[in-house]
Amino acid sequence: MPNVLITGCSSGIGRALADAFKSAGFDVWASARRESDVAALAAAGFNTVQLDVNDSAALQRLAEQLGELDVLINNAGYGAMGPLLDGGTEAMQRQFETNVFSIVGVTQALFAALRRRKGLVVNIGSVSGVLVTPFAGAYCASKAAVHALSDALRMELAPFGVRVLEVQPGAIDTRFAKNAGAQAELLINEKSPWWPLREGIRARSQASQNNPTSAEQFAAQVLKAVQQPTPPRLLRAGNGSRALPLMAALLPKALLEKVLKKRFGLSGVL
């Protein structure tokens, strides 16, 4: 029975992936950071790991526990919303620690286990790393970094028989928008130069819930790609996952920025 480790399984995409792979006969190791989420996963019949993906000691213990690994899905992450200068470098640091640094850390810790099985690394990126929008700069930058390091890892791991699949989701029906909205509200205050544009910030934090694809449908597409004899290097799945990168590629940059500024209330003068 092939095994898979999935990070960030408390809800949304991670939980849907865990359910899909379990139904397909995989031995699923599902991780979450909070004890209550781990308990819920255990009650659902998964092998569970309470894991902070940035805890190197915990990752080393996990590597020793697993021994061999067929598939690693780096899914843990979140979206920091709001003007870049409001969040500053501290917000960027937190965003990159979870969305970017953890992918390298988890993959490094589990590399030997993956090498033994000539396994597959699946990195969950986002179309937001391709089409950059205002009021999500930290998140977009982190996902663009995921795309770059996925390309580098794919080449560097190839001699060891370890493959890399990058997934770029579009709009997926999860708690992402609710969590992003709550995070944005903490940042929005009357002292911000962008206070008059707060409705645009709120609109961006909810943009991923415009006609979203269900997490279950998305997970089924990822599972199908993983099960192929030769998994693709890139999978785009979910509403907007193809149209938005195409827009970013074809529209002149100035026109694209004009459209996005209008969409999120940035066309005026403050």
Tokens 């663009």 found at? 144
Q: Which of 22, 78, 143, 191 is catalytic?
A: 143
pLDDT digits (tens, 9 = 90+) for 83-109: 999 989 999 999 999 999 999 999 999
Number of H helices, E strands in the chain: 11, 9
Query: Which residues contact residue 53 at a Cβ distance below 8 angstroms, ignoring those fewer than 6 apart?
Result: 7, 8, 31, 33, 59, 76, 98, 102, 105, 106
Judge whether 78 counts as a catalytic residue.
no
Residue 182 has pLDDT above 70, yes or no: no
Amino acid identity for residue 211 in this structure? N
**Quick check: 143 pLDDT over 60?**
yes
Average pLDDT for residues 45-68, to the nearest whole number? 94
pLDDT band at 201 (very low <50, low <70, confident <90, very high): confident
Give the pLDDT confidence of 15-55 residue by residue, as tens digits: 999 999 999 999 999 999 999 999 999 999 999 999 999 99
How many Cα neighbours within 13 Å face the side chain of 166?
Answer: 23
Q: Is there a catalytic annotation at residue 143?
A: yes
pLDDT at 181 over 60: no
Q: Choose the catalytic residue: 139, 224, 258, 261.
A: 139
- Cα–Cα distance measured from residue 27 to residue 7, given in angstroms and rounded to the nearest whole number: 14
**Domains of the chain and any CATH numbers:** 3-263 (3.40.50.720)
Q: According to the model, what pLDDT value does residue 113 have?
A: 97
